[in-house]
Amino acid sequence: MKSILLADDHGIVRSGIRLLLTDHFRFGRIDEASAEEEIAQCVKRWNYDLMMLDINMPNTDFPGLMHWLQAAAPAMRVIVFTMHSEQLFGVHALKLGAYGFLNKNASNEEIVTAIRNVLENRKYISPTLAQLIAENETGGRDLNPFSNLSPRELEIAMLLDKGHSLPEVCHLLNIQYSTGNTYKRRIFEKMGVTSILALTRLFQQYNQ
């Protein structure tokens, strides 16, 4: 029987997904993790078929975690399950190796469909994300400026948007201050902004 790991720092979210899983699937094992360290512990002791991952857990290096998961558990498929919109983070998640991307506002039917697809080794791309990918490829409209950022740059931009100072960001991601400052400068240049306030306004515009 299949096994799944639910990785989210909110217990109520994990409980809701667990209930949905028991109603629609027959998983032999359903485990939970609320932090990056717990994810690592679970993955080291069990070979999961699937993980549902919230990329917004505190102190989580999402790009680094995805790279580690691909090395430590290459057969495990990951569905990103987040409050962030497809427009802001969907393409980045797929580029990092996710097999699906779901906004937490998705209906139960969409969540079930995504899980079934991924368990059958098929990627799940929502209609919204598929449209965004098509428009970005064909230039059908102005590109989302966040699509110009690398996964690491987007992660740092998100932390700055949450109110973390640059020294705090560097500490959380275990990088040198000079490196973090270089990333910040690149982010501002790519986004065409000169302040955190302007960056936050762009997040508000595209994360909906």
Question: Domain map of the chain by residue range?
Answer: 3-135, 145-206
Strand bridging mode 77-82 / 50-53 = parallel
Q: Where are the alpha helices (DSSP H) in 25-126?
A: 36-45, 62-72, 86-95, 108-119
Token pair recorded at residue 207: 């994360």
Class of domain 145-206: mainly alpha
For each of the chain's 208 residues, which pLDDT tens digit applies? 899 999 999 999 999 999 999 999 999 999 999 999 999 999 999 999 999 999 888 778 888 899 899 999 999 999 999 988 787 788 888 888 999 999 998 999 999 999 999 999 999 998 888 887 777 666 554 567 887 888 889 889 988 988 999 999 999 888 999 999 999 999 999 999 999 999 999 888 876 5
- Residue 154 Cα distances to 58, 94, 171, 179, 201, angstroms: 16, 14, 17, 15, 15
Fold match, 3-135 / 145-206? no
**∠ CA 38-40-46 to the nearest 5 degrees?**
100
**Rounded-to-integer distance, Cα 23 and Cα 54, Å:** 22
Instruction: Specify the DSSP class assigned to residue 144.
Output: P
User: In angstroms, rounded to a whole number, what is the distance separating the alpha carbons of residues 30 and 6?
Assistant: 7
HSE-up of 177 (CA within 13 Å, CB side)?
A: 4
**CATH domain 3-135 topology:** Rossmann fold (3.40.50)
For residues 137, 141, 145, 150, the Cα torsion angle rounded to the nearest 10 degrees is -10
